[in-house]
Amino acid sequence: MSITTHVHEALERVDTEREEVAETVTAVDRFARRVDEIRPVSPIKPTGGGYAADGGVVAAATRSRPRPPTNRCQDVRELFAETIYATSTDADVDRADSLQTTISDELGQEIALLLSPETDRQFTPDVKGAVLTVTRKRRAELKAIDEALSTEADSLRSAVTALETVTDWLTRVNEIPLSELGFDDLRSRHEALSSHRDRCRQALQDRQAVLHGTTKHHAAAGVPHQSLVSSLYRPFPTAYPVVVTLCRLEECCADCQRTVRDHLTRRA
């Protein structure tokens, strides 16, 4: 039976995170499509001053200005609430504050201010373009994160294969006491332990190469793998479950090898 390690737990954590990112990408796509369907309003041009009959200037503020029947920025805000916000697991009891915070987190503070109910901004072509541009950028960032998570999952599965190969072998051979082994069998076990230590060291090198990498999706900002790992495994006893587990297993093999060597020396 294979031993469950922090690496196995890390793989479960990555699978869960990938599901959440996929849900967010779907929500972002829905949000972008529905925002694109909203027709923007024409910008309200300031009215220049005119001359009254007595020669005085009539203030522009006193002239009547057409206003849209509804604030379409608030429509966009509601669309965000129905799509991206609905997938958030951090929704607070105070929905208004939480919604505003989530818009800022997902689309940036500038867009959050444009869509804030405390402003009277209208959904002009410029505002629509800004919302869609930031939304496309956020989607690209999420796809980069997903690709980084895919890389992490592949790295974890590779580490699990190395770990299980070694631990399964150790579990199997430890059922036979060293005292019952002959000289040739002891030498074979010593050599096998050397091979398994090499396997652990190679897995460590492969893991370090992944940790020092960066994942990009098209022109999206890169996702440094070290930062991703630190964020993923913050609740874990260690931020580097693969490295720690492989190091401990290699040390275990080294201890076993020294014990076998002692038996060989006494038999020689």
Distance of CA 68 to the CA centre of its chain: 40
| pLDDT at position 45 | 63
The string of pLDDT tens digits covering residues 256-267 is 999 999 999 987
Q: What are the helix (H) ranges across 90-124?
A: 95-107, 109-114
The string of pLDDT tens digits covering residues 146-199 is 999 999 999 999 999 999 999 999 999 988 889 898 999 999 999 999 999 999
The secondary structure of 165-194 as a DSSP string is HHHHHHHHHTTS-GGG--HHHHHHHHHHHH
In degrees and rounded to multiples of 5, residue 226 shows phi and psi of -60, -40
- CB 111 within 8 Å of CB 130: yes
- Distance, in Å, from the CA atom of 47 to the CA atom of 136, rounded to the nearest integer, reads 35
Percent of the chain at pLDDT > 90 equals: 70
217/44: higher pLDDT? 217
Record the tokens describing residue 7, joined without a space.
């690496």
| 3-class state of residue 98 by DSSP | helix
- Distance, in Å, from the CA atom of 132 to the CA atom of 85, rounded to the nearest integer, reads 17
- Distance, in Å, from the CA atom of 225 to the CA atom of 216, rounded to the nearest integer, reads 11
Mean of per-residue pLDDT scores for the chain: 87
The model's pTM is 0.81
- Distance, in Å, from the CA atom of 149 to the CA atom of 160, rounded to the nearest integer, reads 16
Question: Which pLDDT band, with edges at 50, 70 and 90, does 56 fall under?
Answer: very low
- pLDDT higher than threshold 70 for residue 59: no
* Residue found under tokens 């737990």: 9
First CA to last CA distance, the chain: 35
The string of pLDDT tens digits covering residues 90-125 is 544 456 568 999 999 999 999 999 999 888 889 999
